[in-house]
Amino acid sequence: MLKIAVIGAGPAGLTAAYELARRGHEVEVFEASPQVGGMARSFELWETRVDLGPHRFFSGDARVNALWHDLVGKDFKMVDRMTRIFHGGEFFDYPLRPMNALARLGLLESARCMISYAGQTVANRLHSGKKESFEDWVVAAFGRRLFEMFFKDYSEKLWGIPCDELDVDFAAQRIQRFSLGRAVLSALGLEKAIHKTLVHRFPHPLEGAGIVYERMAARIREHGGVIHLNRPISGLGKDGRSLQQTDGSCSSYDHIVSTMPLTALCRTLPDLPDGLLGTLDRLDYRNTILVYLKVDHPDLFPDQWLYIQSPEVRLGRVTNFRNWPNGQTTPGGHSILALEYWDNADGDLWNSPDEALVRLAGEEIRRIGLLRGAEIKDTAVVRVPKCYPVYRKGYRVWLDEIVSHLRAHHPHLSLIGRYGAFKYNNQDHSILMGILAAENISGEANHDLWDVNTDYQSYQEGGVRKPS
């Protein structure tokens, strides 16, 4: 039996802890916040369970699906996905559907988009070199005009850098080999394979995404594991196998699984070369601010969430919990919206008081017309630090330097999850990382955890398969 510490009680950390605890290992989980679930947690707000923005679950991996359905049981509903882009006062289907987009753009603008796409198709054939940036990739797939209309503004809000400085990996993960041409074939019924970007149904727990991890935590405790809440970790001890807690205490373990931000953990490594400190400084995380609005209207719009592709506002995405299973019972005919903003740690939004953020959110959502004249009855603000690893162009080279050091000098340390592995994971990727880490630690396998959500063909968004 091994003694194992897990830093962080999000999807990756809890999955690893659960898989290890049920194998009989001694497991301790250290979570800095008062609640399990990480970015996928749910909480009570105005008599409704809400999530931190939209969290849909889907996976093509049988192990991930089996675990999720084992925990959720029958307490879920299938959701017919409806998500759109809000641009220029119009709603456009997302993923983009050419017939819908062209109808709303009008004949002149549609012609410009098609000419742009046709010209780009010719350019692609003449210059088939490797695409280095997100901008290069999307322009090659859709043409420059559609890129500027439907991708540029939202992506730059999210990442805080120009699209030509954003690595191509973001497009490869989220869009894959999807193009306007394939979208046209799909719309006409001539594309037989359903592209993974076009998955339209997914299961969602009746009590919100966080119930998965609340139940997982309960099972960890049933197997003898210990979960410490409000217990942040300051870093590793000098031997690399012990944890330093913020209260000054230190405990040793046979193995440590970390889901805390990779940069923060690696700065505490006892043998980190000076040159790698500069490398860590190049790896950034982006923060999220969620402004929740209780709106006196039961039917504002039918989408689960909207992408706000409008440069005149800083608002990036809006979730409407009225259209999710956990929000359909919101009392009093109200709708709960979550308005998302992104910023750096030193940014003006991140450092604004809650009152200013609420004022900005109310002004912007009224300006773009989504409230339909309804009154805002109540507000709340939630801040989520370091939740998006920034795929700045060249980040892979810097990350590989860190990974090489960890492989060579810290075999008893596993870094997993969105924060820990510096990967833009969905829930399914993080759950898979937790499963694979537990198999490695138990001596059952020798998975390369750094490859999860790198082989995009294997780990990208896929359809949901229920266990047989």
Q: Count CA atoms within 13 Å of residue 197 on its CB side.
A: 19
Residue 111 backbone zone (phi > 0: left; psi -120 to 50: alpha; other: beta) = alpha
H or E segment at 295? strand 285-295
Q: CATH classification of 285-389 is 2.60.120.700, yes or no?
A: no
CA geometry: angle at 114 spanning 112 and 118, to 5°? 115
DSSP bridge partners of 196: none
What is the residue extent of each domain of the chain? 3-41+66-75+207-281+392-459, 83-198, 285-389
List, edge to edge, every strand of the sheet that includes 335-343. 90-94, 83-87, 305-308, 317-320, 335-343, 285-295, 376-389
Beta strand 285-295 with 376-389 is antiparallel
**Which residues in the chain land under pLDDT 50?**
177, 185, 187-191, 193-198, 455-468
pLDDT the model gives residue 103? 78
User: Alpha-carbon Rg of the chain, whole angstroms?
Assistant: 22
**Which long-range contacts does 39-42 make (Cβ < 8 Å, 24+ apart)?**
39/10, 39/11, 39/384, 39/387, 39/418, 40/10, 40/11, 40/209, 40/210, 40/212, 40/213, 40/427, 41/209, 41/210, 41/213, 42/207, 42/208, 42/209, 42/210, 42/211, 42/214, 42/326
Locate 122 and state its tokens: 């010719």
Prior bond of 95 cis (ω within 30°): yes
Strands (E), 300-397: 305-308, 317-320, 335-343, 376-389
**pTM of the shown model:** 0.90
Evaluate whether 3-41+66-75+207-281+392-459 and 285-389 have a shared fold.
no
pLDDT at residue 454, as a whole number: 61
228: DSSP letter: E
Q: CA 358 to CA 371: how far, in whole Å?
A: 15
pLDDT confidence of residue 174: 66
Half-sphere exposure of 245 (CA within 13 A, CB side): 17
Cβ(16)–Cβ(27) below 8 Å: no
Dist CA 374 CA 365 (whole Å):
11
CA distances from 456 to 13, 138, 391, 393, 423 (A): 22, 16, 15, 18, 12
Average pLDDT, the chain: 88
How far, in Å, CA of 345 to CA of 386, rounded?
A: 8
Q: How many CB atoms lie within 10 A of CB 83?
A: 17
The domain defined by 3-41+66-75+207-281+392-459 folds into: FAD/NAD(P)-binding domain (3.50.50)
